[in-house]
């Protein structure tokens, strides 16, 4: 992504339509034609976590929401990984000795508690 954004349209304090530019004057020319405002591209974060204040013509990164959603996604991946290890073979083996399966269920419950 380039250094400047011409934010043309916003919805619910999020960018709906934009164009990126390497030179601020090009971004300014773009908004003169299509409307909107020019901002510097945030150095961090994914675009879906950028919060727009159209009145103040600012763009900020909502790092708390991004961190929280990334942690949730990581936990869900960990749960899926643990659950995928409980195969039909492991279930059959649990009839004789359920130690491994019981330990796996504890790990899964620990991960679910993080949600």
Positions of the chain with pLDDT lower than 50, given as ranges: none
pLDDT of residue 107: 97
pLDDT of residue 70: 96
pLDDT of residue 44: 85
Residue 89, both tokens: 């073979």
Residues 17 and 56 in one domain: yes
Residues 26 and 72 in one domain: no
CB 62 within 8 A of CB 69: no
C-alpha angle 47/44/34, rounded to 5°?
Answer: 45
Residues 103 and 83 in one domain: yes
Residues 53 and 70 in one domain: no
pLDDT of residue 43: 85
Residues 12 and 56 in one domain: yes
Identify the domain containing residue 52 by its residue range: 4-61
pTM of the model: 0.72
CB 51 within 8 A of CB 60: yes
Residues 56 and 88 in one domain: no
């Amino acid at each position: 992504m380039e250094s400047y954004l011409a934010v043309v349209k916003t919805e619910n304090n999020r960018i709906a339509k934009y164009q990126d530019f390497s030179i601020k004057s090009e971004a300014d020319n773009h908004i003169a034609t299509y409307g909107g405002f020019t901002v510097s591209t945030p150095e961090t974060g994914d675009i879906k976590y950028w919060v727009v204040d159209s009145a103040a013509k600012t763009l900020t990164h909502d790092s708390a929401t991004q961190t929280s959603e990334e942690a949730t996604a990581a936990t869900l991946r960990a749960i899926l990984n643990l659950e995928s290890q409980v195969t039909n073979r492991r279930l059959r083996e649990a009839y004789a000795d359920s130690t491994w399966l019981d330990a796996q269920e504890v790990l899964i419950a620990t991960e679910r508690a993080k949600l």
